[in-house]
Amino acid sequence: MARIFITGSADGLGMMAARLLVNEGHKVVLHGRNEKRAGDALKAVPGAEAALSADLSSIEETIDLAKKVNELGHFDAVIHNAGVGYLEGRITTKDSLPHVFAINSLAPYILTCLINKPERLIYISSGLHRDGDASLKDLAWKNRPWNGFSAYSDSKLHNVILAFAVARKLPKVYSNALEPGWVATKMGGPLAPDNLAEAPVTQAWLAASNDKAALVSGKYFYHKQLRPFCESANDVSKQELLLGEYERLSGVVASPCPLQERGF
């Protein structure tokens, strides 16, 4: 059985994926943005091993979360599920970053660098990643008029680029991205048309299945099937540019992290 850490698992798809994995007999550690939400996660997923708290809009707290994860020992998989939507106005974090970028895009990078290397990494993207700005200019929205939809789309493109960069640099790790579909979660809204029951299945499958189709890397999925994606995500120059911007904005560099042992 696998041991899996899932960010943003106090509700929504993260919680649903956690329940699937626990019901299959896997060990699951949950995450909420504060202690109350972490407690809510434990109540919502009976049988989960533990729940950690951290506000992923904070670089400091995200770094601390990685330390907490490492203190719990080895994990076979990490599902980078936590995210915020685009309906809210611009919120600036204490690190002077838009919260959509900080939570959806930068936090997965920090955790990828600092959590001791699992065998599998799963990044939750969206079909809207195809509307993201592939130039990767002005990630912090310093020189652009704020647009929540565009900021969200950008962050979901970043998730795919990061997943593919990790797949390229860590050939012994299965690193993939997926879109769960537009479903009726709190973020998706009540009118979302896709099948909610199917939305958490692919990430749980990628995290723990021994099916040959799940033991791949550098792929993009929808409902356990390969799906076309924005081709810029496969551009090595784009991958390197994004990693460099992540380092600059977070202060977390790839070179001293555990993943460096495998060439990250």
* Helices 59-71 & 107-114 angle (0-180, nearest 10): 30
Task: Tell me if 176 sits within 8 A of 219, measured CB to CB.
Answer: yes
Farthest CA pair distance, the chain = 49
What's the number of CA atoms in the CB half-sphere (13 Å) around residue 258? 14
User: Which run of H or E residues covers position 158?
Assistant: helix 148-169
216 touches 174 (CB < 8 A): yes
Q: Which of the following is catalytic: 109, 152, 222, 246?
A: 152
174 is catalytic: no
* Active-site residue (options: 109, 117, 156, 246): 156
156 classed as catalytic: yes
149: left (phi over 0), alpha (psi -120 to 50) or beta: alpha
Q: Are strands 77-80 and 50-53 parallel, antiparallel or unpaired?
A: unpaired
Cβ contact 156:128 at 8 Å: yes
DSSP-derived 3-state class of residue 19: helix
Residue 77 CA, chain-centre distance (Å), reads 12
Which residues have C-beta within 8 Å of that of residue 219, sequence separation ≥ 6?
Answer: 176, 177, 226
The backbone torsions φ and ψ at residue 176, rounded to the nearest 5 degrees and listed phi first, read: -140, 160
Tokens linked to 182: 């537009």
Tell me the catalytic residues. Answer: 152, 156
